[in-house]
Amino acid sequence: MLEKIQVKKSDAGDALKGVDCLLMIGGEKSGFDVSLKGVTVEPSACWQAAQREKDPVKDFMIAGADKPVAIHCLPLKKQGETDYQRIGAAAGTRLRAKPYGSVVLALGDDLEIDKDAVAALLRGLIIAAEPKLSYKKDDKAAKPDDIELTVLHGNDALSFTKKQLKPVLETARAVLIARTLTAMPANHLGPEEFKDYCLGLEDDTLGVRVLDRKELTKQGFRGLLAVAQGSEQPAYVVELFDKRAKGKPDVSLIGKGVCFDSGGLSLKPATSMPEMNMDMAGAATVVGAMWLLTRAAKPVGYVGSIGLVENMPSGTAYRPGDVLEMRSGKTVEILNTDAEGRLVLADVLDWSAKEHEPKVLIDFATLTGAIIIGLGHDDAGLFSNSDGLSEALLSAAKAADEGMWRLPLHDSHRKAIESQVADIKQTGGRASGSATAATFLGEFVGDRPWAHLDIAGVAFTDKDTVYSPSGATGWGVMMLERLVETLSAGKVGVDKD
Ligand code: BES
Ligand code: MN
Ligand code: ZN
């Protein structure tokens, strides 16, 4: 991760000494007279040339101080905090493309920028600069760890101390924790390794509790264990909590952690299987977020519960036609072993609701392919029984610049999962596949306000996004950081409607 960062007022004449990349944001009107005092570069000429060529993000090799400098002019259309996060990401994407060592980012004096905006800019920059997880022996990709980034500006009030930079670096690290876990191949990150990774995160404030097979059996996780029984890999539920928090939590975060989803006996086609190592992205979001939230000065009343399994076909696998009695006691008619996520989540939701008695439940899951058909890779699908909670989530997502779109839960969806032989059916047919899956989950949350986020489209993409290269994104961590602010501000009630 890019973390060698200084943010300071430019006062020396040797600002560009040894620098091999200069990123300019703003400065089209004012130039960089203050920011780069004494340097013989004429940035406004670069802007003009850039505009002439209709490519304001073209590289310019010019003679700067003591060697040629690659100059990137990055235009900023609007000046909201999200826009700064995005322009930072545009800068980060540039750094991901080429292995620069020493980088100056100059902020023009014509920017209306405050410290929060600089923090947003850096957040976007760091997470976008991170390359794809790679197992190449001879990797020529940029190494953000080696980059020395100096942000220069002309305003005393914008400088950051090391301590002030810490929260920015922590947010970025949390996103990258989620992203890396999601990207890891299933032979590197099975339920066992994922559980060990969580234990490795434990510190003074982050507590980790593991429920192993024996405990899961005792506690009646029959749905989760049915999914796991086709695999040689063990199953775990891992809980993450703030050691300083007292009393019942405000929010339970639940994550789907299917470390590999082959589909089980209802085997997936060969072409859709290779990326199914990402089917634990919901759990990764919960882990990244809990790591981040428990580092704040004040204890956070959030508890995370993730269900870690592998879905495989074998002689011991569960079958279509089976009837399961879930942890809650409800019976479920199994129709398709590839609809495994809802079974795992149902038991973890039931557990988390009863064990912790939180005010609110929120689950994260790469639950359905249908959500990708409906919303593409831009927005997570939000389903909820609470308008207040939905409002809080949507505004947190907006502030974090992470896409989210609410979809309805109707009685017709409940009808679609009525079964002739059990309390409910596992799947509701092709129509509204994401909504019937959400409705299934809703059967296991009791009367609590609850929200389900189907992140199959946003957790993993086939194209580069604003913030990340193609593949895993780490979606949801920044949204959850904002949610703590939104909910604790008490602006929204989170009652069940
Ligand atoms: N993990 C998949 C959903 C998924 C699909 C995630 C594509 C990411 C990309 C989930 O377990 C699944 O297989 N869902 C089925 C449900 C169906 C059998 C009712 C699906 O979407 O096809
Ligand atoms: Mn599946
Ligand atoms: Zn799955």
- Does residue 436 fall inside a structural domain? yes
Rounded distance between C-alpha atoms, residue 275 and residue 258, angstroms: 12
Average pLDDT, the chain: 91
- Rounded to an integer, the average pLDDT of 12-33 is 70
pLDDT at 352 over 60: yes
Residue 220 CB–ligand 1 contact under 6 Å? no
Contact 442, 385 (CB under 8 A): yes
Has residue 159 been placed in a domain?
A: no
The whole-angstrom separation of Cα 134 and Cα 176 is: 14
Whether 203 and 343 map to the same domain: the answer is yes
**Looking at residue 153, what is its pLDDT?**
87
What is the whole-number distance in angstroms between the Cα of residue 262 and the centre of ligand 3?
8
Nearest to 182 by CA among 286, 297, 89, 312: 286
Q: Coil, strand or helix: which one is 436?
A: helix
Q: Which of 265, 277, 368 to mutate to test the pocket of ligand 1 (most atoms within 8 A of CB)?
A: 368
**Secondary structure class of 480 (helix, strand, coil):** helix
pLDDT confidence of 12, banded at 50, 70, 90? Answer: low
Question: For residues 267 and 38, which has the higher predicted lDDT (pLDDT)?
Answer: 267
317, part of any domain: yes
Nearest to 236 by CA among 155, 132, 310, 330: 310
Is residue 51 predicted with pLDDT exceeding 70?
Answer: no
pLDDT in tens, 281-298: 999 999 999 999 999 999
Higher pLDDT, 149 or 48: 149
Residue 209: half-sphere exposure toward Cβ, Cα within 13 Å: 11
- 109 versus 49: the higher-pLDDT residue is 109
Cβ–Cβ < 8 Å for 256, 366: yes
Q: Pocket of ligand 1, candidates 338, 371, 427, 434: which has the most ligand atoms within 8 Å of its Cβ, to mutate?
A: 338
pLDDT tens per residue, range 178-201: 999 999 999 999 999 999 999 999
How large a percentage of the chain has pLDDT more than 70?
90
| Per-residue model confidence (pLDDT) at position 55 | 54
- pLDDT score at 33: 40
Say if ligand 1 is within 6 A of residue 273 CB.
no
- For residue 375, give the H/E element and its range: helix 370-375
Starting from the CA of residue 435, give the closest ligand. 1
pLDDT at 64 over 60: no
Beta bridge partners of 304: 240, 253
Three-state secondary structure readout of 133-175: CCCCCCCCCCCHHHCEEEEEECCHHHCECHHHHHHHHHHHHHH
Same domain (yes/no): 414, 475: yes
Question: Quick one: pLDDT at residue 68?
Answer: 59
Residue 160 falls inside a structural domain:
no
Centroid of ligand 1 to alpha carbon of 17 (angstroms) = 53
φ, ψ of residue 469 in degrees (nearest 5): -70, 165
Please, how many CA atoms are within 13 Å of residue 34, restricted to the half-sphere of its CB?
A: 15
Please check whether residues 302 and 429 belong to one and the same domain: yes
Q: How far apart are CA 18 and CA 38, in angstroms?
A: 15
**In terms of domains, do 149 and 174 share one?**
no
The catalytic residues are 268, 342
pLDDT for 34 equals 32
Is the pLDDT assigned to residue 402 strictly greater than 70?
A: yes
Q: Of the ranges 95-99, 359-363, 433-437, which one carries the lowest mean pLDDT score? A: 95-99
Helical segments of 62-211, H only: 81-97, 115-129, 162-183, 191-201
Could you tell me if 134 and 180 lie in one domain?
A: no
For the chain, the C-alpha Rg in angstroms (whole number) is 24
| Any atom of ligand 1 within 6 Å of the Cβ of 261 | yes
Same domain for 228 and 82: no
Q: Which two tokens stand for residue 167?
A: 């929260």
Confidence of residue 495 (pLDDT cuts 50, 70, 90): confident
* Ligand (nearest to CA of 372): 1
Q: Residue 39: its pLDDT value, please? A: 40
Closest ligand to the CA of 436: 1
Last residue of a domain, one of 154, 186, 209: 154
Q: 476-488 pLDDT, tens per residue?
A: 999 999 999 988 7
Q: What is the structure's pLDDT at 346?
A: 99
Average pLDDT over residues 89-116: 90
End-to-end CA distance of the chain: 43
- Say if 445 falls within a structural domain: yes
pLDDT category at 451 given cuts 50, 70, 90 is very high
CA–centroid distance, 207 to ligand 1, in Å, is 32
Q: Is 366 close to ligand 1, i.e. is its CB under 6 Å away?
A: yes
- Looking at 91, 124, 154, the residue that finishes a domain is 154
Residue 473 resides in a domain:
yes
Which residue, among 394, 429, 396, has the nearest Cα to 415 in the 3D structure?
429
| pLDDT value of residue 361 | 98
For the Cβ of 144 lying below 6 angstroms from any atom of ligand 1, the answer is no
Residue at which a domain ends, from 154, 183, 200: 154
Q: Are residues 129 and 186 in the same domain?
A: no
Task: pLDDT band for 67, please (50, 70, 90 cuts).
Answer: low
- Extract the tokens encoding 303: 């508890």
Our answer on whether the CB atom of 338 is closer than 6 Å to any ligand 1 atom is yes
**Band of the pLDDT at 70, cuts 50, 70, 90?**
confident
The atom number, within ligand 1, closest to the CA of 459 reads: 8
How many angstroms separate the alpha carbon of residue 2 from the centre of ligand 2?
35
Residue 494, domain member (yes or no): no
Residue 433 CA: which ligand 1 atom is closest? Answer: 19
Separation between Cα atoms, residue 388 and residue 384, nearest integer Å: 10
- Do 346 and 223 contact (CB within 8 A), yes or no? yes
User: In terms of domains, do 232 and 372 share one?
Assistant: yes
Highest mean pLDDT among 61-75, 99-113, 196-210: 196-210
Span from the CA of 427 to the centroid of ligand 3 (angstroms): 13
Compute, in angstroms, the gap from residue 292 CA to the centroid of ligand 3: 26
Looking at the fold, whether 149 and 176 belong to one and the same domain comes out as no
In a domain, 447, yes or no: yes
Which domain covers residue 178, as residue numbers?
170-488
Specify the CATH number for the domain of residue 395.
3.40.630.10
> Are residues 175 and 150 part of one domain?
no
**Between these two residues, 101 and 365, which has the higher pLDDT value?**
365
Q: In this structure, are 109 and 250 located in the same domain?
A: no
Compute the average pLDDT of residues 319-332: 98
Instruction: Work out how many domains the chain is built from and give that number.
Output: 2
* 178 shares a domain with 79: no
Q: What is the pLDDT of residue 15?
A: 66
pLDDT bin (cut points 50, 70, 90) of residue 242 is: very high
What is the model's pLDDT at position 57?
Answer: 53
Question: What's the average model confidence in pLDDT over 437-445?
Answer: 98
Nearest CA, atom 19, ligand 1 = 339
Cα(304)–Cα(283) distance, integer angstroms: 9
Q: What is the pLDDT of residue 69?
A: 67
The torsion of the CA quartet 235, 239, 240, 243, rounded to 10 degrees, works out to -140
